[in-house]
Structure formats: structure tokens, C-alpha cells
Amino acid sequence: MLIHKILRYSCCLLLFLCTELQAKASLSLFYPRPETNFDERTGYPLQLLRFAFENSESLKKYELRPSEIRMPRGRSLKLVEQGMGIDVFWAISTPERVNDLSQVDFDIFQGLFGYRLLLIKEARVTEFKTTGDIEIKNMLAGLSPDWPDYLILQKHGFNVQGTTSYSSLFKLLELERVDYLPRSMFEVWFEHEHLQTRGISVSPDVAIYYPTKFTFFLAKSNRELADELQKALQAMDGNGRFEQFFNLVWKDVIAKSSLQSKKIIRLSND
């Protein structure tokens, strides 16, 4: 009898634990793992996402977890759309993405993500100082075809060389197969820190700007969760916590980018 009771208790305990594990698993939200070890693009959006989830009663129950494998950003967005292994992602807003996904209507970079500083070969810093708009267009920019920037620059008559691998972009520049990489000021300094020993610098004189909105995306079927995240971010914005967090992370980067001292090539994004 004692053995039967122990077995019955053990089965009940096992069933309880399995149910608990399944409940926890069902509350996991997966985001894309960074594409490389030096890819810092995940840092700020993920920190903000965690901050929003921790400060919202309705979102606290979710656990944010990285995907099993690394993948290009275009592939990540497709998996979000299909609901296959990636639940939430952050990217530039486009009409296609708004149509295919649940967009969180909140710009996490306050409209500044469209300022593009130019990663160039250090030996060409002086050359870029005196380069005009037409010359920049005729040079070769390196970008991924998966990024909206690619089509924006092409539309405005820029020469663009594409590669789908994030790390190979920097190799193209290092080997002088492209003339520059237009990178957001929120990305460029982390990348430069990794690349400066390879003779790559940030142009102190030229930048490109086109209006962009950068936000979070979830699957169409996750519209309710997207709305809850939007409410959490708007609440943080309303009580000043978002601005405080944004300035804590980016104040020095914005100052270092010194936009007021640069010639800015301004493009539309219609």
C-alpha cells in the first residue's frame, strides 16, 4: 500500500511539474540571437523590451529568450510573420512590415535612427572631407538587400553593393570593394570599436539622413500582445522613464556623433 501511495504521489508530482514547465514554456517569447559576437544591435532594443515587460503587470509573466541559431534580419522577420520560432523583433518600419506584421506604434530611437554616419577606410578621411553629394552617390555603398536602406539609397541614385551577411559587409570595406558603409549613429561606434585596428574609421565630415521609424514587430496573431507592449512603452514615455533610459544609454553616443558639425545629405523616404 505504501509503495502504491508513493507511486501515486510521484505521478501526481511529475504531472504537476510537467504542467508547470509547459505553462512556463508557453509564456516564453523568443527574439533573434545576434548575428555575430560583436553585433551590438540587439543590446538596446532588448534592454528596453525587458524594461517595458518588467514595468507592466500584464507583461511580467513573459520570459524573453534568444533564438537557438543566428540568422540574417530578413529571415528573422519572416519567422516572426510565420510564427515559427521568433516572436518579437525590432526593425525599421516599412509599409510591407506594417501590412504583414503587428507593429508597435512607438519609435524607440525618437526619430534619430535615420542619421547614417559613414564607415570608411582611415586612409580616405581627407578625401571624404571634400567630397560632394554627387561624388558620394557615384561611390559604392555597402548594404544588405534585406534592409530598407538598400532601396532608399537606390531610389535616390546611389550606387549600392549588397551582401546578406552582416560580417561580410565589413570585409567588403576592408578589402576596398565598397567605398563606405552607411551605419546608424546608434550602431556605428560599436562597430568602429571592433574594426579600428583594421584601418577603418568614421567620417567626421559627412552623414546621410532619411526619416525612419524603428520599433518592435510581432506576428499578426499577436496583435493583443503588441498592443500591451505599446501601452507599456507609452506609459514609460508619459512618466519620463523612457527618456531617462534613452538618455542614459545614448547621450554620449549622440554627442560623439556631432551631427551639427557634419555635412548631412538629406533624402526623402516616401
What ranges make up the beta strands (E) of the chain? 28-33, 63-70, 88-92, 102-103, 115-121, 140-143, 159-162, 181-184, 200-209, 214-218, 263-266
Mean model confidence pLDDT for the chain: 86
Q: How confident is the model over 136-192, as pLDDT tens digits? A: 999 999 999 988 999 999 999 999 999 888 889 999 999 999 999 999 999 999 999
DSSP element (H, E) containing 194: helix 188-195
Contacts of 143 (CB under 8 A, 6+ apart): 149, 150, 153, 160, 161, 162, 169, 181, 182
3-state SS record for 9-72: HHHHHHHHHHHHHHHHHHCEEEEEECCCCCCCCCHHHHHHHHHHHHCCCCCCCCEEEEEEEECC
| Grid cell listed for 185 | 549613429
For cell 500591451, name the residue: 228
Q: How confident is the model over 177-198, as pLDDT tens digits? A: 999 999 999 999 999 998 888 9
Q: How confident is the model over 77-119, as pLDDT tens digits? A: 788 888 788 999 999 999 999 999 999 999 999 999 999 999 9
pLDDT of residue 25: 43
Measure CA 211 to chain center. 16
Q: Provide the whole-model pTM.
A: 0.83
